[in-house]
Structure formats: structure tokens, C-alpha cells
């Protein structure tokens, strides 16, 4: 069957037999809404270069499978751009769907960018989402479940309205995002004059067993990363390997049930990491290890109203004029060990050595909160071989093994210097690209 005939069948909305699943191709003169919704499990829709102007509601409902996912993607070498010229609808609503991928497409305009509603195993990969009327990506409809989401390597910037880069889950455990990965995204400038909030990535209460890693986030209105609590729904969420600066509130805010490790914070309007009561979550079940954080305002790490076990260990914490660690609540539940840097303590009396300095410990660091910065330890740094082995992470920010080393902060020291990625206004190189929720 020729491709042109297949395209005719597709655009007429006629469902083909699964045995004919194949690659379809459309251009901006074709109906992208009809073409997308005509896909059968295993089909691939390729978009060629051009502007796909969407004025009707672009709702997508596709029930595909792990073995036969549905994929909507840019044709190799092409640059399709889907635009909604007004904000009376979202650009795309993915609803009641499974195993659907959007890949390599530019999206702009509309209200929200891509809204995921009651859908699982949805992959958004290599997309460029910008100048939306509200949040760029949402999965936050009440009484819905979202499993196996994979939002990887998307470039998100210049949002409006509430302005979140990603809004995941619901307030007060009203819906749950779980078993999902949000990795290697580049999110910035969610802090425009029209933005009322502007978190980089926000993971709401009740969501669990998610990984947020290797994202580059800067210039946000609210925290660069914020998580609530799992309220007992499942395993803790993980924030690791992210780098952030210019955060409009705290760099990382978390209520409970989170592993925070190997992150780099170069500046925030308030605290570097602040764990505080939020909705039904009160600080407990938190592990904060091997982060490197520089801050000019507030505390570098602040834990308020501790109500359960919390560990702060092996972090490199540098405050220009304030507090390295501030803690309050049930302090008997707090373990503080082998943190090094610059600043004072409030609420704790040990576990931090105020022997560090930016000039002595790092290759090229400052409290300016802007690039260039290189917080890799230099020879003779106080961070080298001073970590607590009990809390030593398996890998570092560069994904290098920490076996055989006990170095404080996000990096494992190497006499050859930083052989990994240089922090920049760009994507952090990806280690694994996930498709449809699986490696």
C-alpha cells in the first residue's frame, strides 16, 4: 500500500487493521487532530517542517500498548511547530490514553501546553514548549491516576499564568503521579511579569516513587524544584543530579518522603534547601546527602518542624553571610554528619565543619549566582576524603562511581579535574533516554 493511500485512510478517520500498522506522514496542510486520533497501536505519525496552527480543541485519546506504542514525532531532519494562536484551549489534551509518545515537536501558545489527563505511560521527549498562556506541562486532574510518565529532554521556557514548567499531581492527595521519570529537561524563565507562581517542577502531595534527575533549571518564579509528601501512598521520591540557579524562592522545597542527593545549587532568593510542613506533610523521611549548595540569602539547608527521621550528611554547604544548617522541631530525629563548608549552625551543634571557602575548595565558584561556575573540588579542597562512609552515595553528579572515594558534595574528586559536563545554560547530557516508561 502506497504511503499516499495510507494517508488518505488516516485523514478520513478510518481505522486500519493492526497488521497494517506503519509510519504515516503529514504536512501542515493536513489535519493533525484527525491524523493523530486515527492511529492504531504500533503506528507512527511523522510531522514534516512547518507551522501546524490549531484552532479547534486538540484532544488525543489513544489506547496503545507497551509492545505497540503510538508515536507522534518530528520526521528526521524536520522541525514541526504546533501553535495555538489564542489561550482559550490548551495546545494538546492527552486524555484516557496509554503508551503514547510525542517527540521532537515545538509547541507554543494556547493556555497550558500539554495537559495529560487520566493517562499512563505517556512519554514527552525532545520537545520544545514555550510561550504558553499557563503551565507548560500538567498532569493534575483530580481523582485520576498517572503511572509511568516519562518527560525527558524537553526545553521549556517563558510560560505565563501560574507558569509552572511541570505541574504534576494534585493538592491534598487529590490525584497521584507514580513510578515516573522527569529527567534531563532544560527549564528556565518561568518568572515573567505575568507569572503568578512559576515553579520549575512541582510534584504534589500523594505522588510517589518518582525520579526527578539531571534537570537544568534556572530563573524561576517559585522554587526550582518542589515536592510535597507521599502521605504513605508508596516509596519516597528522588531528586538527584539536578543543577539550578536563579530560583525565585527556595531552590529545593520538600515537605517529606524525599531523597535529595547529588544536586548543585548556585543561588536562590531564599534558602537553598528548605524542608517545611506543607498540606498534610510534616518534615520526616528525608535524606539530604552529597549536595553542593551555594547561597547568599537565608540558610543553605533549613529544616522546620521536624517530626520524623531526617539525615543531612556529606553535603558541601556555603553561605556567604548566613546560616549553613538551621533546624527546629524534634531534633532527636535529626542526624547531621560530615557536612563541610562555610556558615553557622542554628538548632544543631555538630555534623558541620566550618572550614571551607570557595576559593580554596572549588575550581571556579562565586556567590554571584550566575555562570560561569565550576564547583568541582580543586586539589587540597576540604571536601576531599572527608565524607561519612555510612552515607556515601553510589555515584556522583557526573554519574561517576564513588567506589574507593569519600568526597563531600556532588562530585567525586579526580586529580585530572572535572572530566564531566561543564554547567551551562543548556541540557545536561543524558545518561538514559526512556521510551514509554521503560529503558
pLDDT tens digits, residue range 411-422?
999 999 999 999
**DSSP3 helix / strand / coil % (the chain, rounded to 5):** 5, 40, 55
Q: Would the pLDDT of 71 be above 90?
A: yes
Q: How confident is the model at residue 1 (pLDDT cuts 50, 70, 90)?
A: very low
pLDDT tens digits, residue range 312-338?
999 999 999 889 999 999 999 999 999
Q: How far apart are CA 31 and CA 37, in angstroms?
A: 10
pLDDT of residue 295: 94
pLDDT of residue 430: 79
CB 95 within 8 A of CB 63: no
Q: Would the pLDDT of 369 be above 80?
A: yes
Name, in order, each residue with C-beta under 8 angstroms of 61's C-beta and a sequence gap of 6 or more. Answer: 37, 95, 96, 97
The Cβ of residue 386 has, within 10 Å, a number of other Cβ atoms equal to 18
Q: How far apart are CA 95 and CA 58, in angstroms?
A: 10
Residue 211 — φ and ψ, nearest 5°?
A: -120, 125
Q: How confident is the model at residue 17 (pLDDT cuts 50, 70, 90)?
A: very low
pLDDT of residue 12: 37
Q: How confident is the model at residue 308 (pLDDT cuts 50, 70, 90)?
A: very high
User: Interior CA angle at 30 toward 24 and 33, to 5°?
Assistant: 80
Q: Would the pLDDT of 4 be above 70?
A: no
pTM greater than the 0.85 cutoff: yes
pLDDT tens digits, residue range 152-170?
999 999 999 999 999 999 9
Q: Would the pLDDT of 439 be above 50?
A: no
CB 81 within 8 A of CB 75: no
pLDDT of residue 438: 40
pLDDT of residue 432: 53
Q: How far apart are CA 412 and CA 374, in angstroms?
A: 13
pLDDT of residue 435: 52
**128 has which bridge partners?**
106, 155
pLDDT tens digits, residue range 40-66?
999 999 999 999 999 999 999 999 999
Burial status of residue 110 (CB atoms within 10 A of its CB: 0-12, 13-18, 19 or more): buried
pLDDT of residue 431: 64
Q: Would the pLDDT of 190 be above 80?
A: yes
Q: How far apart are CA 272 and CA 289, in angstroms?
A: 14
pLDDT tens digits, residue range 113-128?
999 999 999 999 999 9
Q: What is the mean pLDDT of residues 15-36?
A: 82
Domains of the chain (ranges, CATH numbers): 1-81 (no CATH), 112-391 (2.160.20)
CB 83 within 8 A of CB 111: no
The more confident residue out of 4 and 139 is: 139
pLDDT of residue 18: 44
Residue 391 DSSP class: G
The Cβ of residue 194 has, within 10 Å, a number of other Cβ atoms equal to 11
Q: Which of 12-16, 144-148, 364-368, 410-414 has the lowest mean pLDDT?
A: 12-16
Q: How far apart are CA 220 and CA 192, in angstroms?
A: 9
Across the chain, what does the average pLDDT equal? 93
Amino acid at each position: 500500500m502506497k504511503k499516499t493511500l495510507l494517508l488518505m485512510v488516516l485523514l478520513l478517520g478510518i481505522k486500519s487493521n493492526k497488521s497494517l500498522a506503519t509510519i504515516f506522514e503529514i504536512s501542515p496542510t493536513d489535519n493533525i487532530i484527525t491524523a493523530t486520533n486515527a492511529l492504531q497501536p504500533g503506528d507512527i505519525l511523522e510531522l514534516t517542517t512547518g507551522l501546524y496552527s490549531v484552532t479547534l480543541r486538540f484532544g488525543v485519546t489513544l489506547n496503545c500498548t507497551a509492545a505497540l506504542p503510538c508515536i507522534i514525532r518530528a520526521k528526521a531532519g524536520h522541525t514541526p511547530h504546533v501553535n495555538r494562536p489564542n489561550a482559550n484551549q490548551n495546545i494538546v489534551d492527552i486524555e484516557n490514553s496509554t503508551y503514547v509518545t510525542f517527540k521532537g515537536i515545538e509547541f507554543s501558545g494556547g493556555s497550558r501546553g500539554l495537559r495529560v489527563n487520566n493517562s499512563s505511560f505517556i512519554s514527552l521527549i525532545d520537545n520544545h514548549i514555550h510561550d504558553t498562556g499557563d503551565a507548560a506541562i500538567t498532569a493534575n486532574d483530580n481523582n485520576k491516576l498517572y503511572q509511568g510518565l516519562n518527560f525527558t529532554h524537553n526545553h521549556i521556557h517563558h510560560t505565563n499564568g501560574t507558569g509552572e514548567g511541570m505541574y504534576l499531581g494534585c493538592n491534598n492527595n487529590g490525584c497521584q503521579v507514580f513510578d515516573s521519570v522527569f529527567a534531563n529537561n532544560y527549564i528556565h524563565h518561568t518568572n515573567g511579569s505575568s507569572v503568578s507562581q512559576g515553579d520549575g517542577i512541582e510534584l504534589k502531595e500523594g505522588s510517589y516513587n518518582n525520579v526527578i534527575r539531571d534537570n537544568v533549571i534556572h530563573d524561576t518564579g517559585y522554587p526550582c524544584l518542589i515536592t510535597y509528601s507521599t502521605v504513605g501512598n508508596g516509596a519516597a521520591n528522588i531528586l538527584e543530579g539536578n543543577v539550578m540557579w536563579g530560583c525565585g524562592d527556595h531552590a529545593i522545597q520538600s515537605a517529606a518522603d524525599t531523597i535529595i542527593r547529588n544536586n548543585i545549587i548556585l543561588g536562590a532568593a531564599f534558602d537553598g534547601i528548605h524542608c517545611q510542613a506543607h498540606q498534610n506533610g510534616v518534615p520526616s523521611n528525608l535524606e539530604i546527602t552529597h549536595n553542593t549548595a551555594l547561597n547568599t540569602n537565608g540558610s543553605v539547608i533549613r529544616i522546620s518542624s521536624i517530626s520524623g527521621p531526617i539525615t543531612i550528611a556529606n553535603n558541601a554547604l556555603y553561605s556567604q553571610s548566613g546560616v549553613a544548617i538551621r533546624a527546629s522541631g524534634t531534633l532527636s530525629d535529626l542526624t547531621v554528619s560530615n557536612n563541610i563548608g562555610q556558615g553557622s549552625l542554628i538548632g544543631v551543634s555538630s555534623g558541620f565543619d566550618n572550614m571551607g571557602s570557595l576559593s580554596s575548595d572549588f575550581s571556579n565558584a562565586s556567590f554571584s549566582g550566575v555562570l560561569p561556575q565550576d564547583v568541582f573540588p580543586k586539589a587540597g579542597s576540604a571536601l576531599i576524603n572527608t565524607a561519612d562512609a555510612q552515607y556515601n552515595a553510589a555515584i556522583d553528579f557526573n554519574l561517576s562511581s564513588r567506589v574507593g572515594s569519600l568526597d563531600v558534595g556532588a562530585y567525586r574528586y579526580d586529580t585530572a579535574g572535572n572530566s564531566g559536563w561543564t554547567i551551562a545554560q543548556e541540557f545536561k547530557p543524558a545518561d538514559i533516554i526512556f521510551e514509554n516508561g521503560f529503558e
